[in-house]
Structure 1
Amino acid sequence: MQSTNSGTVLVAAALVVGLVVRQQLRTRPVRRYGSLITPAVFGVLGISGIAFGIASVVKDRPLTALPVALLVASLAVAAGLGAARSRTVRVWRGPQGEVLRKGTAATTGLWLASAGVHFGLGLWIDHAAGTGVLGVASLYAYLAIGVGTQNLLVRGRAAAL
């Protein structure tokens, strides 16, 4: 049963990341608040996911410092990769004066690297915890911080136009 749940979680995670990447590659306007809605939703889901992950660990054993430190490091990496991705997004003025954005092949590459890093750190977190799904459950928090950082920096570049 555990492998079925893990497979379902991995498929769902791949779908979410795929949808985020797909959205990044579309030409779309830079909006004042719209770019913050998705990270806010991911943030709420991320907080509940981390709470669930912690609960899954502590039901079997105490939570030690290493998985918590790895989780914090994972979220810091998300911010760093979000900042790197923001530099790969094209930002320009459209024909009606609106500011547009579109991810590039480099954006996609950094998204794939980001997904790989999260997957690897998630496995390490869960191994360090000895049980539970804290690493996998932190996906939405990882996305919230990564997408939020990227969008804030893209908005800053757009404002400079």
Structure 2
Amino acid sequence: MHSTNNGGSLVLVLVVVGLVIRQQLRTRPVRRRGSLIAPAVLGVLGVAGIAFGVASVLEQHPLTTLPVVLLVASLAVAAVFGMVRARTVRVWRDPQGEVLRKGTAATTGLWLASVAAHIGLGLWIDHAAGAGLLGTASVYAYLAVGLGTQNLLVRGRAKAQP
């Protein structure tokens, strides 16, 4: 996400977030592995984004502790949002015995709040770093942690279905 390509990167992030939210609102089966594929892909992109962000800061000056602490805090915020969102996802067993899931309006609202929180935290991280795009580039890691946490908890709820 180089500064000359922020517009294109922003569009890509918005598309990814839109697809995640759209997928949340569909009725679909709870699967053992399928629910971890998207967080894994986002996680790989997240690691690459963080590496890019660190490199973008290091081009200007050494990376200090505060942006790193804020980055870790932002990932913790993502996990908390994932935990809360998991409670808003409807989970039930259909007449054929398959466990299904579907996000609610509250799930969507929490996704939007989560993205807004990351934007704020990302700007704070970038300001604390004094250069580069560490906060901005960490969006995929943020999405991976939040979605992964949510999906793991929804899977746990699915296992508890009678």
TM-score normalised by L of structure 1: 0.97
Query: What's the secondary structure of 1:100's corresponding residue?
Result: strand
Deviation at 1:39, TM superposition (A): 0.7
Write the letter of the residue equivalent to 2:79: A
| Equivalent residues in 2 for 1:79-158, closer than 5 Å | 79-158=79-158
Q: CA RMSD in A?
A: 1.0
Q: Which runs of 5+ in 2 are unaligned?
A: none
Query: What's the secondary structure of 1:42's corresponding residue?
Result: helix
Deviation at 1:91, TM superposition (A): 0.1
Q: CA-to-partner distance for each residue in 1:75-113, whole Å, 9 max, x for gaps?
A: 000000000000000000012110000000000000000
Write the letter of the residue equivalent to 1:22: R
Q: Distance in 1 between matches of 2:13 and 2:116?
A: 12
More divergent stretch after superposition (8-17 vs 75-84): 8-17
Q: Distance in 2 between matches of 1:59 and 1:107?
A: 39
Deviation at 1:7, TM superposition (A): 1.8
Match of 2:37 in 1: 37
Q: Distance in 1 between matches of 2:113 and 2:16?
A: 15
Following TM superposition, the consecutive aligned residue runs of length 4 or more in structure 1 with deviations greater than 4 angstroms are none
Aligned residues: 160
Q: Distance in 1 between matches of 2:48 and 2:6?
A: 18
Q: Distance in 2 between matches of 1:33 and 1:84?
A: 21
Q: CA-to-partner distance for each residue in 1:107-156, whole Å, 9 max, x for gaps?
A: 00000000000001001111111111111110110011000000000000
Match of 1:74 in 2: 74
Query: What's the secondary structure of 1:23's corresponding residue?
Result: helix
Q: Distance in 2 between matches of 1:77 and 1:114?
A: 8
Match of 2:48 in 1: 48
Query: What's the secondary structure of 1:154's corresponding residue?
Result: helix
2:7 pairs with 1:12 = no
Q: Distance in 2 between matches of 1:73 and 1:85?
A: 18
Q: Distance in 1 between matches of 2:109 and 2:98?
A: 27
Query: What's the secondary structure of 2:100's corresponding residue?
Result: strand
More divergent stretch after superposition (125-134 vs 109-118): 125-134
TM-score normalised by L of structure 2: 0.96
Write the letter of the residue equivalent to 1:112: L
Deviation at 1:66, TM superposition (A): 0.7
Q: Distance in 2 between matches of 1:61 and 1:96?
A: 60
Write the letter of the residue equivalent to 1:96: Q
